[in-house]
Amino acid sequence: MEGIYFDNNATTRVDEAVVEAMLPYFTEQFGNPSSMHSFGNKVGLAIKKARMQVQELLGAEHDSEIIFTSCGTESDSTALISALKAQPERKEIITTTVEHPAILTLCTHLEKEGYKVHLLKVDGKGRLDLDEYKKLLTDQVAVVSVMWANNETGTFFPVVEMAELANAAGAMFHTDAVQAVGKVPLNLKDTKIDMLSVSGHKLHAPKGIGVLYLKRGTRFRPLLRGGHQERGRRAGTENSTSIVGLGKAAEMALEAMAYENTEVARLRDKLEAGILAKVPRSFVTGDPTNRLPNTSNIAFEFIEGEAILLLLNKFGIAASSGSACTSGSLEPSHVMRAMGIPYTAAHGTVRFSLSRYSTEAEVDRVIAVVPEIIAQLRKLSPYWEGDAPKAEPEKAFAPTYA
Amino acid sequence: MWDYSEKVKEHFFQPRNAGVLEGANGVGDVGSISCGDALRLMLKVEPETDIILDAHFQTFGCGSAIASSSALTEMIKGKTLDEALKVSNQDIADYLDGLPPEKMHCSVMGREALQAAVANYRGEVWSDDHEEGALVCKCFAIDAVLIEDTIRANNLSSVQDVTNYTKAGGGCSSCHEGIEEILVKVMTERGESFKPGTPAKEEAKPAGMTNLQRIRKIETVLDAIRPQLKRDGGDIELVDVEGKTIYVNMKGACAGCQMEALTLQGIQQKLMEELKEFIKIVPTKAGALSRATCHP
């Protein structure tokens, strides 16, 4: 499909080499890896290879630390529920206000079941207060779950340091690293991270495949019980095709790691600077000095994000927004609210997320189109007059709540 | 991505009557910046006749909010204030060939802006008692606040009760967990505990309506809708009424029309409003057969 795809934090296109690696496992190599005959055996070997490819990308010590799951969400649920079941005497969880719903919704549910959930706050740039964290780390905490990089702003959390602190307090440490894996060099064997979630479709592998990294020796209780697959830690016949695809994608991500952090970062910076230079009353959210190389989240004040996306889409440009309307909820993105971004800007946030397939020409095109779109919507906005916001915009237009 | 109708897209991409209206003598500001939609409606009313000579809008909001605002201004121009006030939020949605359930509140906002602007013109104070909660039932666009208030006001204690009183949960049933949560909350407040499987309160049938009266009422509603359908070359026929299921026959251009599901949804909504009970509208086999022949 033609168009400019700058929504790679939502999902990525499957690399053609990945598809090619997968195809034989639909037809010739269709066997069940658990079977004794050679149909199964070859698939078993392919899965073994994929496991080692993922191991290498994560910098894990053993290939048996890689458990294939169906998605990042399954990995997250498995990790947290396992930590609680394995340590019934510990009833508390520490996480952050800006986690993905895969963690937050689960924690809300666990709260109803009697667990205590501590949500770490963030500052205006989306950074954590480690002193607050240290105070909460007691012998009641079963597990700490902190994302490696935020999906909306790309901001990194100091997970390696936080894992050390958790380990010292006897708590398990999990990180949802679905945005970071493939973009950040990892060396898990040198960290105290016990569990880490990966999602295949964020790194050019297909949807429907994920990984839970489980450090050897970490006490574990499976979410799915049944057959002996994944050494009894995740029952269910292996999604062999997608596992092979994820292995190939992991290998390619490792090769592209330097490119992601130099060239993709350069394109992202150019895009961001280009837009900010041309659009008044716009600013970057999150911490621009410490974030994913591919992500830029820009708030356009006094207009609403879904309207921006619809107009971008008309120009063939795909991005995403933290506005309430894009999700059908009544509040803008919880990440923007947690950072204290005012409503008039939070609804107008747009996330551009690039990939190694993004090109300079695409960046130039987006820089050319965005300012027109923003100006067009601001003409409709009751907060705007001419080419600037009204004086004291929130007083000039203060509708009664409806 | 939202499934917006072509009409919504058209009004969003080319909004009518956008921008400040010089010499406006009725202005209504409504919306909520926290949920990301706010609208200023400006009217120029001729004092002698009460006719709306011109209407403009400014909107902070999503595609459907802008489209609803644009549609509203088109609908009310040339009408007297009293005529304009008869425009309901459903009329705005219908004008746009429907809105997704999550977006119906955009049409509500348009309707409220109109009330506020008329009140402003007449020198009255418009106050709004409508509070909006998170959307629970997507099939019928029912939010948490309405469900909670209804449970409280009627002492409800089962999901079936909630469906009977508000329609919420009467469709795909995937929101039943959410409804149970609200029941648990309200019932705990009144010192009861929620028990799944509690039989519904006695059927919330409109008091004293006989079967015959009910069928006549249904016919009246269908008669009122018929001219609209005929305008588009279609028609509707009542086939049977069995409890809460109303069987109809979609005829002419309506049968097999891509908008059929949407049309039926609208008719179901109107019927439920009139009958004050939850009903299901089902197109009969005859209709389905004629569709099959139309589209082999």
What is the 8-class DSSP label of residue B206? P
Q: Are A202 and A347 in the same domain?
A: no
Indicate the SS3 state at residue B245.
Answer: strand
Q: Are B230 and B179 in the same domain?
A: no
Indicate the SS3 state at residue A390.
Answer: coil
Q: Are A297 and A172 in the same domain?
A: no
Q: Are A386 and A314 in the same domain?
A: yes
- Residue B198 in domain: no
If residue B219 lies in a helix (H) or strand (E), which one and from where to where?
A: helix B211-231
Out of A253, A280, A298, a domain closes at: A253
Closest approach of B168 to chain A, Cα-based (Å): 17
CATH label of the domain that carries residue A278? 3.90.1150.10
Q: Are B118 and B174 in the same domain?
A: no
* pLDDT classification of B289: cutoffs 50, 70, 90: very low
- Residue A202 in domain: yes
- Residue A4 in domain: no
- Residue of A281, A302, A325 to mutate, interface with B, max B Cβ within 10 Å: A325
Nearest CA-CA partner of A195 in A271, A103, A276: A103
Indicate the SS3 state at residue A18.
Answer: helix
pLDDT higher than 80, residue B166 = yes
Active site residue A325: yes
* pLDDT classification of B292: cutoffs 50, 70, 90: very low
Out of B122, B147, B180, a domain closes at: B122
* Per-residue pLDDT reduced to its tens digit, A282-337: 999 999 999 999 999 999 999 999 999 999 999 999 999 988 766 666 678 999 99
Closest approach of B45 to chain A, Cα-based (Å): 21
* pLDDT classification of B265: cutoffs 50, 70, 90: confident
B214-217: long-range contacts, CB 8 A cutoff, minimum separation 24: B214/B241, B214/B275, B215/B241, B217/B274, B217/B275
Q: What percent of chain B has pLDDT over 90?
A: 41
- 8 Å CB contact of A344 and B33: yes
Active site residues of B: 35, 106
Report pTM. 0.82
pLDDT higher than 60, residue A401 = no
Closest approach of B84 to chain A, Cα-based (Å): 20
- Residue A1 in domain: no
- 8 Å CB contact of A314 and B13: yes
Out of A253, A281, A309, a domain closes at: A253
**Cβ(B37)–Cβ(B106) below 8 Å:** yes
Which residue type sits at A115? Answer: Y
Cα(A124)–Cα(A189) distance, integer angstroms: 33
- Residue A402 in domain: no
Overall domain count for chain A: 2
- 8 Å CB contact of A307 and B66: yes
- Residue A399 in domain: no
- Residue B200 in domain: no
Cα(A233)–Cα(A236) distance, integer angstroms: 10
Parallel, antiparallel or unpaired: strands A172-176 and A141-145: parallel
- 8 Å CB contact of A397 and B40: yes
- 8 Å CB contact of B60 and A314: no
Q: Are A233 and A283 in the same domain?
A: no
DSSP per-residue string spanning A211-271: EEEE-TT-----SS-SSSGGGGTS-S---HHHHHHHHHHHHHHHHHHHHIIIIIHHHHHHH
* Average pLDDT taken over every residue of chain A: 95
- Domain housing B163: 135-189
Overall domain count for chain B: 3
Q: Are B163 and B70 in the same domain?
A: no
- Residue B204 in domain: no
CA distances from A273 to A250, A313, A358 (A): 31, 22, 17
CATH label of the domain that carries residue A227? 3.40.640.10
Q: What is the model's pLDDT at position B48?
A: 95
Tokens of residue B23, six digits: 């010499």
**Cβ(B52)–Cβ(B84) below 8 Å:** yes
Nearest CA-CA partner of B254 in B272, B270, B237: B237
* pLDDT classification of B262: cutoffs 50, 70, 90: confident
If residue A162 lies in a helix (H) or strand (E), which one and from where to where?
A: helix A159-168
- Residue B203 in domain: no
What is the 8-class DSSP label of residue A190? G
- Residue A303 in domain: yes
Q: What is the model's pLDDT at position A323?
A: 80
Q: What is the model's pLDDT at position B239?
A: 86
Q: Are B182 and B219 in the same domain?
A: no
A133 touches chain B (CB under 8 A): no
Between A180 and B223, the higher pLDDT residue:
A180
Q: What is the model's pLDDT at position A328?
A: 60
Cα(A297)–Cα(A322) distance, integer angstroms: 9
Phi-psi label, residue A236: left if phi above 0, alpha if psi -120 to 50, beta otherwise? left
CATH label of the domain that carries residue B150? 1.10.10.1100
Q: What is the model's pLDDT at position B279?
A: 82
Q: Give residues 64 to 103 of B whose Cβ lies within 8 Å of A.
A: 64-66, 100, 102-103
Nearest CA-CA partner of A150 in A334, A300, A12, A282: A334
Residue of A nearest to B27 (CA): A399
Cα(A122)–Cα(B230) distance, integer angstroms: 59
* Per-residue pLDDT reduced to its tens digit, A70-128: 999 999 999 999 999 999 999 999 999 999 999 999 999 999 999 999 999 999 999 99
CATH label of the domain that carries residue B77? 3.90.1010.10
Q: Are A272 and A354 in the same domain?
A: yes
Q: Are B12 and B116 in the same domain?
A: yes
Cα(B184)–Cα(B106) distance, integer angstroms: 30
- Domain housing A292: 257-391
Q: Tally C-beta pairs within 8 A across A and B.
A: 111
* Per-residue pLDDT reduced to its tens digit, A213-241: 999 999 999 999 999 999 999 999 999 99
Q: What percent of chain A has pLDDT over 90?
A: 88
Tokens of residue A189, six digits: 């064997």
Out of B74, B90, B122, a domain closes at: B122
Could you say which of A305, A307, A399 has the minimum Cβ distance to residue B31? A399
Q: Are A143 and A200 in the same domain?
A: yes
Phi, psi of A274 (to 5 degrees): -60, -45
- Residue B129 in domain: no
- Residue B130 in domain: no
Q: Are B18 and B63 in the same domain?
A: yes
Q: Which residues pair with A302 in a beta bridge?
A: none
Q: Are B76 and B161 in the same domain?
A: no
Q: What is the model's pLDDT at position B201?
A: 67
The CA-based dihedral angle spanning residues A55, A59, A65, A68, taken in that order and rounded to the nearest 10 degrees: -40
pLDDT higher than 60, residue A247 = yes
